[in-house]
Amino acid sequence: MAVPTAQNEEPIEKPTELSELETWTMYWCVISLFWVVDAWLGWTFRWYGASLLYKSYVEPFMSDHEGDLEDMLEAGRAKALSVLCTTVSVITNIVQSEFLAGQDVPTSAEEAEPAEEPPSERGGMETMEKTVPSQLQEMARSAGSTARQWVSDMSQQTPSEPPRRKLPRFRRKAN
């Protein structure tokens, strides 16, 4: 780094003009300064330099603003939870309105009709296993017919054949 600067002090050939010597000295000083800064920056951003920067700047900043950072994280969590709940609610409403339209489906456990007899009095789990799958199958059938109706409605709205794009034709050259 210092070699180019030191070599300018004793040039091999004596310059004919003082301005030429001054130009070369400025050039080599700028180059050596660039090399020093480059070497220092290369060291700074390696492992030890990163830990030095973290301990010098990042860690004190985070410890000084710890309460603010925790408040921001908590607000972010609350907002994410709110967005998630809203999204689930919207999706649930869409599914209910599209696939279960016109059906009397209870929206909560309180509105659900109680079974005629508890499963223990009607022969145990066999009865419950028979009623729940049949209810699920009935719901799936009605949702499937609603979905098929929706797909058929959508297919009638779209044009029968999409517009075709003209593709370039490649022809072989005759030899």
Segment 70-96, tens digit of pLDDT: 999 999 999 999 899 889 888 888 887
pTM of the full structure: 0.32
Where along the chain do its domains lie? 2-64, 66-97
The rounded distance, in Å, linking the Cα atoms of 21 and 14 is 9
The tokens describing 31, both together, are 């180059």
Burial 90-128 (b: 16+ CB within 10 A, else e): eeeeeeeeebeeeeeeeeeeeeeeeeeeeeeeeeeeebe
- Position 149 scores a pLDDT of 66
Cα gap 53→46, rounded to integer Å: 10
